[in-house]
Structure 1
């Protein structure tokens, strides 16, 4: 894996319901520490951990289930810088570099945000066109690139 220096390796997921591809609404969760900021589930890749292992571990840790299948993967690492306020608490990293996956929940998947270390207070499935209106400004360029890629591939 090629990771940019000073960027935290991370996995992120665009989650669709078990009704995909009939319904293409996307899971988005409200952070419990940043007010009205919504985002896709994501998390760090531990030292020596494989990307796919991190994907399913993070899904379980953040939304209480790993009952899902990978539909597609964004073909490259994509990075963003932390805003100054966040960067202070994330040293030595100046941002994150991520692998994105489009993931479909299994029919019997049960979302539970009351995890061991809850990161989200609420969630909903929204139309793809609503996502950028409610997400953090510093993540929008990455979200837009990944969403457009999956749209261009006919997946969203």
Structure 2
């Protein structure tokens, strides 16, 4: 007999952070989620790409969590803070994942988003052995991408959240290209 999913309204959101890591050309880092099955014949753009993100630890500020998550997922430490979105951005899990994803404890995530500029070299990025090999890889590939194209590259249930992120950081690519 199939398990009855929990009542969405009774579940809280998980507090998380997200990181838009910009390069000197004003593009952002995206990683391809490891272990995601892509339908045969699917185009590369249909793969689930995303920016680094993760949960906040108890007693940790959102900015501290963002820097930690960036290290744990990409090995990057050479960054300069650019901006923080002023509001939480929420997304809900699809019904099929409710009670399963996020350890079954959450209905989705509420995220604080930060923008950083990579001040080091691309060679610092290591998604296959992140944090000097101390952490499990969450991504199996990465690339630089235009901020505006991100909503079309991520899983559909995060699209609205990514549209808000893109809107909130819309002026940053040009500022970064100008040396911000």
TM-score scaled by length of structure 2: 0.76
Unpaired segments of 5 or more residues in structure 1?
A: none
Q: Name the residue aligned to 1:39.
A: 50
* Matches for 1:1-150 after TM superposition, within 5 Å: 6-17=12-23, 19=24, 23-35=25-37, 36-87=47-98, 88-90=100-102, 91-108=104-121, 110-113=124-127, 114-115=129-130, 116-150=135-169
Larger fraction in strand: 1
User: Please, what TM-score do these two structures have when normalized by structure 1?
Assistant: 0.87
CA RMSD of aligned residues (A): 1.5
Instruction: Verify the 8 A CA contact 2:18 2:66 in the aligned structure 1.
Output: yes
Q: Residues of 2 paired with 1:108 and 1:37: CA distance?
A: 25
4+ aligned runs moved over 4 Å, structure 1: none
Q: Figure out how many residues of one structure are paired with residues of the other and give that number.
A: 146
Per-residue displacement from partner, 1:95-141 (whole Å, max 9, x unpaired)? Answer: 10000011111134600112221000000001223222211111111
Q: Distance in 2 between matches of 1:43 and 1:149?
A: 19
Larger radius of gyration: 2
Note the residue ranges of structure 2 that are not aligned, 5 or more in a row.
Answer: 1-10, 38-46, 174-180
